[in-house]
Amino acid sequence: MLSRVGTLIGRYVIEHKLGEGGMGTVYLARSRGGRAVAVKVARPELASDPSFRARFRAEVAAARQVGGFHTAQVVDADPDAEAPWLATAYVPGPTLAGLVTAEGPLDETKLRALGAALAEALEAIHACGLVHRDLKPGNIVMAPDGPRVLDFGIARALESTRLTATGSAFGTPGYLAPEQALGEEVTGAADVFALGAVLVAAAGGRPFGDGTPMGLMYRSVHEAPDLTSVPEALRDLVARCLAKDPAERPTPDGILDALEEGAPG
């Protein structure tokens, strides 16, 4: 495949490839004024799917309204391009997954800060009518000014194509809420479940162990999570986030209250 370095996507000049995501290829690019952006370009099979384009257009319109300190702002998009694309502010830093691998589990103070940042991000995302649907350590960048949540605003468009093509749940096993794994209606409570699973992972654990995707989804539906890695003062909150019944999970605002009330000193 020919390199796209130096070519234009919309009005952005590609500098280099950052990686591959669920939607397609992600590039670091710059605007004519020098602003760094991450541009996600849809895979060819998605570009040829009218249902993907329709949902992508609707999701991008909502995602552009998302603000807050803990998200990567959507700054531009073209759902009608030959290969639809989405540009977000580029956030430098390692992912949470990479940070934990390199430096080890987060302590209680850092877990509290992470939980609060993620709760604020979910408040901003949900306020615009979106559900992230795939919150996980690989979608969280640990920027110098705090964690940032990536890849909101594309999940529902991708979900529609995966459900149509394979009948499987969209998301990442181990972080999928039971209702997602079962193909039921998904609300913001599913993101709260994922937040709980992310905190377990950041503490060095695996809430539903290891194994195959089907095994992880089965355990998330039928078995209690393993919270042994989570500091004792945070276990009750994380357990409530990971409740099987969406109605029993706290709201993002409730998570913030619980983190403030239980903070040491």
Give the residue among 209, 215, 211, 208 at the shortest CA–CA distance from 242.
208
Query: What one-letter code names the amino acid at 252?
Result: P
Known catalytic residue at 236? no
Cα 155 from chain centre: 9
Of the candidates 49, 78, 80, 134, the residue annotated as catalytic is 134
Rounded CA-CA distance 264/14 in Å is 46
Buried b (16+ CB within 10 A) or exposed e, 197-211: bbbbbbbebebbeee
**For residue 11, is it left (φ>0), alpha (ψ between -120 and 50) or beta?**
alpha
Q: The tokens of 228 are what?
A: 């042994």
At 66, list the tokens: 């998302």
Write out the H or E segment, with its range, that includes residue 42.
Answer: strand 36-42
CB distance 66 to 132 below 8 Å: no
Q: Which residues participate in catalysis according to the annotation?
A: 134
